[in-house]
Amino acid sequence: MPDLAIDGGPAAAEALSIPEWPQPVAESRENLLEVFESGTWCRGPWIERLEDEFADYHDAEHAIAVSNGTVAIELALRAAGVEPGDEVIVPSYSFIASASAVPTVGAIPRFADTDPATFTIDPDSVREQITADTVGVVGVHFAGYPMDLDELVPICEEHDLFLIEDAAHAHGSEWRGRKVGAFGAFGTFSFQESKSLPSGEGGIVVTDDDVLAERARTMQNIGRAQGETGYRHYTLSSNSRMSAFQAAVALGQLETLPAENERREENEEILLSELEAIDGVRTKPRDDRITARGYCLENFRYDPDGFDGLSRERFVEALRTEGVPVFDGYEVPIYRQPAFFRDEVRRLLPPGAEIPDYRNLPLPGAEQLCRENVAYSHPLLLADEEGIRAVADAIRKVQAHAADLRAREA
Ligand SMILES: Cc1ncc(COP(=O)(O)O)c(C=O)c1O
């Protein structure tokens, strides 16, 4: 076995060539120029086209374009009827917006644990968090791997809760042959530039419900009724509209998304078949109910026992030096972020609201993922087959040298 790259040997994943991201599509450029010269930079036909095409692509009746994926969740919560002091169950292992949107609209987040096998919200833990004040659940299709909708939708129906699917990572993901997003009250997406459908910033909300769609449209447009542009405002809400420039870019990028996702899926299959055979690498379960995958990042769990006790930090460092750009993700679950210190949350909630002691929550699944996660971004899955196989070669090489690396850690 050649020397580790960390010791000056050749990088095992030299063949891995990852495309730059975002990848500008020619159609986005043409659309942008058209918008620029049209004089309609706000609202109008480009936004409507994006909403129609995205709703169609994601098997939803309605889509409402917004300025980013964070306000998409806030808008969905408001339109779903959340009121100050209500409780909403949120994921513990995700980007902070999946949970911070809840206090931002004056409601109390209650964190559910995360299933470490799938990185998605644990339905049993959701059940445990339901109280008389719970009005809804936000879950994430984390890394584009759908949460268990067979479990979550009935729990929500049984307890009369809305479900918001944070699908910021899941453009194109399918559950039992249907795209995610409109299984619950709302699905929310991000078009931020690192996402698989990028428009710089941007987002969209989807729903099958006509009434919820109209409420979301009104609230997205500072209280104006659908289709109106004047000075009559029916609700007190903000402006979260997307600009026509963002829509122009997203429309172009949407053209290439399905083929890119197919390529990612094929490559993930190759990578999985290699990784599943490596001791100490825990991949996500194959699930027949997931009929297509979208991606933002992808993850596996690292078990030092398969690597002579080598720490994950040192494994990630060695693998990066071998040419595979992995990273270890969130250092702490969302509830241990400084933003969730009680005084910080209290500022946003009605006086007297009972706020859990987030910092001391015992949610072992989320904690485990913070220790074991190894992630890579979706453009890696657009590499060629030789590059994809080189990822597994690099892991095996680090494994072969693990005892030596471990000895240096001590
Ligand atoms: C799971 C998840 N939800 C929501 C968001 C928020 O999206 P945005 O950055 O467009 O506000 C992100 C962004 O990374 C995310 O990863």
Q: Is 154 exposed, middle or buried (0-12, 13-18, 19+ CB in 10 A)?
A: exposed
pLDDT, one tens digit per residue, over 230-287 is 999 999 999 999 999 999 999 999 999 999 999 999 999 999 999 999 999 999 999 9
What per-residue confidence (pLDDT) applies to 71?
98
| Mean pLDDT, rounded, for 212-223 | 98
Specify if 314 maps to a domain: no
Round the average pLDDT of the chain to a whole number and report it.
Answer: 97
Q: Would you name the residues annotated as active-site residues?
A: 95, 166, 169, 192, 195, 224, 231, 241
What φ, ψ does residue 105 adopt, rounded to 5°?
A: -100, 15
HEC readout, 36-80: HHHCCCECCHHHHHHHHHHHHHCCCCEEEEECCHHHHHHHHHHHC
Specify if 237 maps to a domain: yes
Specify if 149 maps to a domain: yes
The strand pairing partners of 175, in sequence order, are 178, 290
pLDDT, one tens digit per residue, over 114-160 is 999 999 999 999 999 999 999 999 999 999 999 999 999 999 999 99
The DSSP element (H or E) to which 159 belongs, if any, is none
What φ, ψ does residue 161 adopt, rounded to 5°?
A: -110, 145
pLDDT of 208 higher than 80: yes
Share of the chain above pLDDT 70, in %: 100
The domain spanning residue 231 has which CATH number? 3.40.640.10
What per-residue confidence (pLDDT) applies to 265?
98
What per-residue confidence (pLDDT) applies to 107?
98
What per-residue confidence (pLDDT) applies to 410?
79
97 lines ligand 1 (CB under 6 A): yes
Specify if 317 maps to a domain: no
246 lines ligand 1 (CB under 6 A): no
Q: Are 141 and 120 in contact (CB under 8 A)?
A: yes
Report the alpha-carbon distance of residue 257 to residue 79 in Å, rounded: 29
Q: How far is the CA of 69 from the centre of ligand 1 (A)?
A: 5
What per-residue confidence (pLDDT) applies to 247?
98
Tell me the residue range of the domain where 77 lies.
Answer: 26-253
Q: How far is the CA of 196 from the centre of ligand 1 (A)?
A: 12
pLDDT, one tens digit per residue, over 73-87 is 999 999 999 999 999
pLDDT, one tens digit per residue, over 350-373 is 999 999 999 999 999 999 999 999
Q: How far is the CA of 64 from the centre of ligand 1 (A)?
A: 16
Share of the chain above pLDDT 90, in %: 98
Q: What residues contact residue 398 under an 8 Å CB cut-off, 6+ apart?
A: 4, 307, 310, 315, 318, 319, 322, 405
Q: Closest residue (by CA) to atom 10 of ligand 1? A: 69
pLDDT of 1 higher than 80: no
CB atoms within 10 A of CB 298: 25
Band (223; pLDDT cuts 50, 70, 90): very high
Ligand 1: which atom is nearest the Cα of residue 203? Answer: 10
Specify if 115 maps to a domain: yes
Please compute Rg for the chain using Cα positions.
22
118 lines ligand 1 (CB under 6 A): no
What per-residue confidence (pLDDT) applies to 63?
98
31 lines ligand 1 (CB under 6 A): no
What's the number of domains the chain is made of?
1
Q: How far is the CA of 297 from the centre of ligand 1 (A)?
A: 12
Specify if 294 maps to a domain: no
pLDDT of 227 higher than 90: no
Specify if 192 maps to a domain: yes
pLDDT of 2 higher than 90: no
Report the alpha-carbon distance of residue 88 to residue 137 in Å, rounded: 6
Q: Is the dihedral of CA 42, 43, 44, 50 positive or negative?
A: positive
Question: What are 53's two structure tokens?
Answer: 């095409």
Q: How far is CA 320 from CA 94, 144, 210, 313, 397, in A?
A: 23, 23, 48, 11, 12
pLDDT of 188 higher than 90: yes
Ligand 1: which atom is nearest the Cα of residue 73? Answer: 4
Specify if 290 maps to a domain: no
What per-residue confidence (pLDDT) applies to 326?
98
Q: Are 250 and 47 in contact (CB under 8 A)?
A: no
The DSSP annotation for 285-333 comes to PP-TTEEE---SEEEEEE-GGGGTT--HHHHHHHHHHTT---B---SS-
Q: How far is the CA of 97 from the centre of ligand 1 (A)?
A: 6
